[in-house]
Structure 1
Amino acid sequence: KKMVPAYHLPDAVRFNDVLKKGHGRPVAEVSPDRADVAVLQYTGGTTGVAKGAMLTHRNLIANMLQCRALMASNLNEGSEILITPLPLYHIYAFTFHCMAMMLIGNHNVLISNPRDLPAMVKELSKWKFSGFVGLNTLFVALCNNEAFRNLDFSALKVTLSGGMALQLAAAERWKQVTNCPICEGYGMTETSPVATVNPIQKIQMGTIGIPVPSTLCRVIDDAGNELAFGETGELCVKGPQVMKGY
């Protein structure tokens, strides 16, 4: 609560009040379908007002399975410790940590405030973590922290990057400090979120990798024509993880 600034929502209804009003009312049985909306996940609003992406049960389960398929040879069930500096309300952490990893019994270490680097590094020192998920700015900040550089990284075998473009200098510095390369991917709220990722055994720094299983990608021009390799255009994604709509 201390981190939330003062706000005023005159039409807001307290969640506890809703529970009280609904207490004792009959609950109708619901048979959810895979095509039904599971969550309204709001976008970052980087190109305008944040939009609510309708992610279905099928979308989320598909992306969870896609993530697990990519990590199967590197992250084992029930024995991994993963650092989770991204909030679980962010689609990246929600799908990968809260669904894909937690479902198979892996331990997620939640970092409530990654901006507090001393506190974060102190927490990291308590664990022999095998996985780390972050973004470019966090990688840079941590590598510039002397206490972080002195941590034990002997168990670290997977580092994933998303949320923003990974700078080559940041990736090289992270590899130098931790001896673990960063695996970069690409996605968005609308794709639940993972669309492409580097194969962990064949990482090519400076790229977003290849489409995840059951996913097609192509680049088109303003007229909708598919472009050749190396040309610049709009990236289109097709797959079971693509949202139902806004």
Structure 2
Amino acid sequence: MANRKNTPWSNDEVQTFLCLVAEERIQRELDGATRNEKVYREISKLLGKHGYNRTFQQCREKFKKLKSDYRAVKDHNGRRGSNRKSWKWYEQMDGICGHRPASNGREGGLDSATGLLVSLKEENDSFAISENGSVSPTDATLASAAASSPALKSAPEPLVPSTPTRSAALTPTTGQRKRRREQEHLTVLREMLASDVEQIELNRAQRDRHLQMTLEDAAHARDLEAALRREEIAAMSSFNQAFLATLSQLVEALNRR
């Protein structure tokens, strides 16, 4: 089966993928695993149950690209004097990545700067976000973004985390996003459960039909065997009668002599 390597991700496919990645258990395993192949294999398998055939490598690269686009938009909107950008997957990615602990120091700074530079290079000096994102800023804005990155100015300096404060995390808007994400996840789980129940019912119906056909074949075999026995008995009875008649005629002939 083709792995759809060059096929773009549809909106419904990305929506399902993000719902699966947002699951708390998946997030814990991604945070605690240095080699996350097993986690992405599980995500690939779950996508397959929804009719989307993606390898674990494609799932890993897709999430990496989404995180890079999310950081680019967030860094852009965090600068003063810049026009805010919108992105259709921002709220879901913010719910997944926005409130997770940020890495400080050189590693965190280089990670943020690398994500920004990779995004700039891949999109030809623009923030052209995938899946029908917003309009890209100018080259001057991108140069300003690269120059203002703390990791590029001084690597040893810790990069100030761009995550919201605790008070912001408790705002009604964040709560609404969390509830909506939970509802979407529950919807996915319900669909998976309904699919499993449907498959179980289908298997049960097939077993019932097979059992019924087996019983019908057994009954037909019994009827056929009974009919053959009746024919054998009738043939034997006819033979006996003919033999007795012949024997009787022979006895009468002998008596006459």
Tell me the TM-score normalised to structure 2 length: 0.21
Q: Which has the larger radius of gyration?
A: 2
Task: Give the strand-richer structure, 1 or 2.
Answer: 1
Task: Give the helix-richer structure, 1 or 2.
Answer: 2
